[in-house]
Amino acid sequence: MLILNKFLPILALPLGFSLLLLFTGLLRKRRWPIACSAILLYVCSIDYVADHLERWRESKYIPVPIDQAESADAIVPLSGIFGPATPAGILPNIAESGERLEAGIQLWQHKKAPWLVFTGGRMPWRPAEELEGRRSAQVAISRGIPSENVVVTDEVGNTADEAATVARLAHVKGWRRILLVTSANHMSRAVRQFRNAGLDVIPFPVDYHVDPESPTTLVDFLPKGSSLERTENCVREWYGMAFYMLAQRFKSK
């Protein structure tokens, strides 16, 4: 299931579909697939498109000031916080979505919940890697959070795994409400999974990429690799939502 979730959408994403069109045109010696490939790649590689897609997704959950966040039984920042591991004694390699870790720490420091729970993210094809949750826990403890208030879950591979694992932990601990911390673009899918697992979820979105007040300029129509990545992230979120809905439907039958 995890392999399908990670690799099946590759050809449905803009880059993969563009390459498929390109190869089809070259093999069949047709111009229209090649032209469609170029147009699709251009459209998906400009800030104008990426900004609109991200703004639409991020607008579903507005930012919440730390001191105005609701209280819960546990704070749960989702995995996706770190890049490649660093040697002992070297500063951790914080990824672009590292705000998840910072928000989790600050929510605990503002006494929004007594427990800080990190999920044990690790891909099965990288078994030698340390669970990401352990790295998050090390940072949190170094920032003054007592180790007895920090929990690292078992190994998880995706959002559905995170939801199921945290739900089992909540059942054991007697937790009812959690503060769910993840990127605004990812929050809709995450909230659905955690609620389907039976948890009362308070969303705390972070990692916004788009300024809703930013004006459109000519620069927004120049193709960039970073814009293609942002567009694909949005498409991947829609794919992930559809994948989980279908998986849940088949599971219930």
pLDDT of residue 96: 83
Instruction: Count the neighbouring beta carbons within 10 Å of the beta carbon of residue 109.
Output: 14
Q: What is the mean pLDDT of residues 49-56?
A: 94
- The DSSP call for residue 82 is B
pTM listed for this prediction: 0.86
**CA distances to 9, 118, 136, 199, 212 from 40, in Å:** 17, 38, 39, 40, 25
pLDDT, averaged across the chain: 89
Domains and CATH numbers, the chain: 7-59+221-252 (no CATH), 67-206 (3.40.50.620)
Q: What is the pLDDT of residue 84?
A: 81
Share of the chain above pLDDT 90, in %: 71
CB-based burial of residue 193 (10 Å sphere; 0-12 exposed, 13-18 middle, 19+ buried)? buried
Give 144's DSSP letter.
Answer: T
Per-residue pLDDT at 81: 92
Half-sphere exposure of 61 (CA within 13 A, CB side): 23
Please report, to the nearest 10 degrees, the dihedral formed by the alpha carbons of residues 199, 202, 203, 206 taken in order. Answer: -120
Distance CA 214, CA 202 (A): 29
Question: What are the tens digits of pLDDT across the range 184-227?
Answer: 999 999 999 999 999 999 999 999 999 888 899 999 999 999 99
Neighbour tally for 143: CB within 10 Å: 13
- Of 147, 157, 77, 171, the C-alpha closest to 121 is 157
Strand partners, 181: 77, 204
Mean pLDDT computed over 90-106? 90
Question: Residue type at 29?
Answer: K
In this predicted structure, which of 4-8, 89-93, 111-115, 242-246 has the lowest mean pLDDT?
4-8
